């Protein structure tokens, strides 16, 4: 019998005003959403917009999450300029800006008792992709030790080109190779099941190929990014593979429920429970 994944819910993906449990919580405000996630059995919180929140609100969130037994699974490393070629910077100004972003991420990780920062880079049309991959790899190495000391994981996420074009890492193999080239425990792969499926990969063997590099897994069904169980993916097989490779990290639900009502959100949670039950057979 496999253990059920430890789930993390988000406080907004496209906007901070559309959290995962927008209608099951008292409101869409972060503190109310933290309570809603805890009330519904979640173990973690994903907040792509955390860096944009006032320090007082961050502190209140950290305190409430600690009291409710929730951890911060991940946040956006650069929520305003995430699609710029900053992680692949080679000039002094770009590297200084990147260093400032990493320092701010380290401070957040300390405040929340550890977390992951999503690391995505835009593709610079004036430099070759191979040069930019090498530069991002070196920049990750440069900041890996400081991240480790702060309890921060730098999460390298490959993004499907047909979902979000213009990014540096658009193949799973490239992200995996980068993590292995850095070879530091604080630099890990963010395995986004939805994006990997959009790349045309079979998820279970892809998970197996990445098993020693994964720092965080995200769930979303395809086509598009929809509730698990409403699309094409074989979730019991995926969940069994996660258990077979002893993945014990958090699994983020990174989608906006198709039915944006309280009943729809409750149905989404019920479908998840049913998928976990199927995987346990």
Q: Where are the alpha helices (DSSP H) in the chain?
A: 30-39, 55-68, 92-112, 129-150, 172-182, 193-198, 203-209, 235-244, 262-279
Which residue range(s) make up the domain with 113? 6-279
Backbone angles phi, psi at 166, to 5 degrees: 85, 20
Structural domains in the chain (count): 1
Determine the Cα–Cα distance for residues 190 and 34; give it in Å rounded to an integer. 23
Average pLDDT of the chain? 96
CATH of the domain at 234: 3.20.20.150
| Confidence at residue 279, expressed as pLDDT on a 0 to 100 scale | 87
pLDDT (average), residues 45-65: 98
Three-state secondary-structure class, residue 272: helix
Please check whether residue 87 lies inside any domain of the structure: yes
Please check whether residue 101 lies inside any domain of the structure: yes
Nearest CA among 216, 277, 202, 279 for reference residue 248 = 216
For 266-280, the pLDDT digits (tens) are: 999 999 999 999 988
For 215-243, the pLDDT digits (tens) are: 999 999 999 999 999 999 999 999 999 99
| Confidence at residue 105, expressed as pLDDT on a 0 to 100 scale | 98
Asked whether the beta carbons of 148 and 184 are under 8 A apart, the reply is: yes
Q: Is the pTM of this model over 0.75?
A: yes
Please check whether residue 1 lies inside any domain of the structure: no
The structure tokens listed for 213 are 């590099």
| Confidence at residue 4, expressed as pLDDT on a 0 to 100 scale | 80
pLDDT (average), residues 207-214: 97
């Amino acid at each position: 019998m496999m253990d059920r994944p430890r789930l993390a819910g988000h406080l907004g993906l496209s906007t901070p005003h559309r959290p995962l449990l927008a209608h099951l919580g008292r409101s869409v405000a972060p503190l109310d959403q933290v309570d809603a996630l805890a009330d519904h059995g979640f173990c973690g919180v994903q907040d792509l917009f955390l860096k944009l929140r006032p320090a007082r609100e961050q502190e209140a969130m950290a305190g409430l999450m600690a009291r409710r037994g929730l951890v911060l699974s991940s946040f956006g490393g650069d929520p305003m300029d995430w699609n710029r070629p900053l992680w692949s910077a080679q000039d002094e100004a770009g590297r200084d800006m990147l260093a400032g972003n990493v320092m701010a991420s380290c401070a957040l990780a300390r405040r929340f008792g550890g977390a992951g920062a999503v690391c995505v880079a835009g593709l610079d049309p004036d430099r070759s992709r191979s040069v930019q991959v090498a530069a991002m790899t070196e920049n990750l190495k440069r900041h890996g030790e400081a991240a480790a000391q702060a309890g921060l994981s730098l999460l390298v996420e490959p993004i499907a080109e047909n979902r979000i074009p213009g990014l540096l890492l658009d193949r799973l193999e490239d992200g995996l190779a980068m993590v292995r080239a850095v070879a530091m425990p604080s630099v890990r792969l963010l395995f986004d099941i939805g994006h990997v499926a959009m790349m045309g990969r079979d998820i279970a063997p892809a998970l197996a190929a990445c098993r020693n590099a994964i720092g965080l897994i995200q769930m979303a069904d395809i086509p598009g990014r929809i509730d698990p169980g409403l699309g094409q993916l074989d979730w019991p097989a995926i969940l069994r593979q996660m258990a077979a490779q002893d993945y014990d990290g958090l699994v983020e639900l990174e989608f906006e429920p198709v039915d944006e009502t309280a009943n729809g959100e409750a149905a989404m949670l019920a479908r998840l429970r049913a998928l976990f039950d199927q995987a346990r057979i």
